[in-house]
Amino acid sequence: MGAEVKKELKYFYIDGRPGWDQERFEDPDMNGGGCAAVTACDLCICLARDKGLGELYPFDPFNVTAKDYVAFSKIMRPYLYPRSRGIDTLGLYLAELSAYWSDRGARYMKGEELPGESDVREARELIVSQIEKGILVPCLLLKHKDPVFDDFEWHWFNISGYEMREDGFYIEAVTYADTHWFSLERLWDTGYEEKGGLVKISFGENRANNRNEIP
């Protein structure tokens, strides 16, 4: 693969840890099944901070506190609340996140699906492109044959970086207020027909014109 290349996006920290740990939620449903909402909250906070999209996060994105994060999660919860099977498809995640964006007047925001059935090379290209643009990549993992991913089954997390190593392409995942590095090839080869996938986020250059629509 040639010379090693590594790129990591700057995450926000709460109490010294990256992002939010859903196990800190007092709401039992969000504590056990709030990963999709957490991923969306983290994404919106980083976009507000790094892209100037303040309409996506109603608090200070440069000083994210636990109090503000919990308040924000309660705003996001009606959209990405835990269902009986969780938020188990890319389409459901995008539909609900798009509804939140629309209600915030951010109708310029767009999301595209890359299903887990896609070639791993497409996944690698999407991740590199998004990270180079400074945008997190939401990822859904359903079942996996490899026990190394046991704690990530039926789970949403954000991809915040990548590294091209001599032995393959690795991604940095942020979840449960911690970072983890995985081989993308190993992650992508779940061994099951029911798969998750990636979400590509984009926004229009005319986004400033939409801000007068914010409720």
pLDDT digits (tens, 9 = 90+) for 60-112: 999 999 999 999 999 999 999 988 888 999 999 999 999 999 999 999 999 99
Per the structure, the complete domain to which residue 84 belongs is given by: 5-213
CB-based contact 152:141 (threshold 8 Å): yes
CA proximity to 189, closest of 116, 132, 133: 116
Q: What is the mean pLDDT of residues 192-207?
A: 86
| pLDDT reported for residue 173 | 97
∠ CA 23-158-205, rounded to 5°? 130
Name every residue whose Cβ is closer than 8 Å to that of residue 117 and which is 6 or more positions away in sequence.
Answer: 195, 197
When mean pLDDT is compared across 46-50, 77-81, 186-190, 200-204, the lowest value belongs to: 200-204
pLDDT, tens digit, 9 for 90 and up, residues 149-189: 999 999 999 999 999 999 999 999 999 999 999 999 999 99
Q: How many independent structural domains does the chain possess?
A: 1
What's the CATH number where 35 sits? 3.90.70
Q: Could you tell me the pLDDT band of residue 1, with boundaries at 50, 70 and 90?
A: very low
| pLDDT reported for residue 174 | 97
CB-count burial class (<10 Å; 0-12, 13-18, 19+) for 17:
middle
CA–CA distance, 24 with 166 (Å, rounded to integer): 38
Q: CA 180 → CA 50, 122, 174, 175, 200, distances in Å?
A: 22, 21, 6, 8, 20
CB-count burial class (<10 Å; 0-12, 13-18, 19+) for 193:
exposed
Decide if pLDDT at 54 tops 90.
yes
pLDDT, tens digit, 9 for 90 and up, residues 107-136: 999 999 999 999 999 999 999 999 999 999
CA–CA distance, 2 with 210 (Å, rounded to integer): 44
Q: Could you tell me the pLDDT band of residue 207, with boundaries at 50, 70 and 90?
A: low
Name every residue whose Cβ is closer than 8 Å to that of residue 28 and which is 6 or more positions away in sequence.
Answer: none
| pLDDT reported for residue 206 | 52
